[in-house]
Chain A
């Protein structure tokens, strides 16, 4: 079994270095289970009505207010060339902080914290397209398989991809 990658190691997550399991935060997206370092998540919220932004890239479907703060929504599906995550009245989003960026990651459902036995974490296949580009490991718990995302890298990639998308500015 391959060594878990940096983001799935306990010192980067929410478990002790010698703990037999690693804690992640799990969302349902793109018809599957995707998780990332639990400490990145500050809250799970129900999305309010979105305000769309002019000339925004497709993965930024809008903003909403939460306790008086305006927060941008990140649609991972649109970022990786998949259909948009449907946004309905009961849609949940995980508020995450990745370095300077605070975003609401929209999901089909928020599963919450999951503990994955370290021995069941394997290095992700080295693919460079779609969501696989941002996977660091794959694991399994009682609910089934879960893909581990490098969320900070994904958010940074979104920001970088938006620059050429802005183009002439409209």
Chain B
């Protein structure tokens, strides 16, 4: 029997992404989150709304950050054979590690993203977070 992984599917703008459930500390409202903990726009795009977020722990930050998203689409348990690696050419062309592979959903590849890396990359950018 193949191993399984729990995958969280979420939407930012028009795009759908997947992440391993363990990368998300919790999902909640953005309303009461301090402004300096909110990540509004990231390499995943800019959400249409500012209501929901995925709380992400970044080990080197010692602070939780809330990545604003549009919608949580659900959690799926997928078999390892439904996961695909990032093709070498794409890996060589994308900046460091935010996309780690793909989850095949109805044969369509959904980017599997590493949320701590997405947050870390966003924090490294000089522009204001909001």
Contacts and interface: CB of A to CB of B under 8 A. Distances in A.
A42 interface: no
A19 interface: no
Contacts of A74: 89
Contact of A55 (B86, B95, B107): B95
B92 A54 contact: no
B99 interface: yes
Given A60-B93, A60-B94, A72-B89, 9 more contacts: A49-B108, A63-B87, A72-B93, A102-B87, A159-B93, A169-B121, A169-B124, A170-B121, A170-B125
B92 A169 contact: no
Interface stretch (A26-34, A86-94, A120-128, A160-168): A160-168
Chain A contact surface mostly: mixed
Contacts of B42: 54, 170
Given A54-B43, A168-B125, A170-B122, A159 B95 contact: no
24 contacts: A51-B102, A51-B108, A55-B94, A55-B95, A60-B89, A60-B90, A60-B93, A63-B109, A65-B107, A68-B84, A72-B93, A101-B88, A103-B87, A158-B93, A159-B93, A162-B94, A166-B93, A166-B94, A166-B95, A168-B125, A169-B43, A169-B96, A170-B122, A170-B125
Chain B contact residues, majority secondary structure: mixed
A45 to B, nearest CB: 14
A33 to B, nearest CB: 25
A60 B88 CA distance: 13
Interface string B97-125: 01100101001111101000010011011
B45 interface: yes
B106 to A, nearest CB: 10
A51 B86 CA distance: 12
Contacts of A55: 43, 94-95, 98
Interface in B52-100: 84-90, 92-96, 98-99
B121 A53 contact: no
Contacts of A68: 84, 104, 107
Contact of A54 (B98, B102, B107): B98
Contact of A168 (B94, B109, B111, B121): B121
Contact of B95 (A70, A100, A168): A168
Nearest to A166: B95
B66 to A, nearest CB: 17
Interface in B9-49: 15, 17, 42-45
Contacts of A72: 87, 89-90, 93
Nearest to B85: A70
A64 B118 CA distance: 22
B43 to A, nearest CB: 4
B109 A64 contact: yes
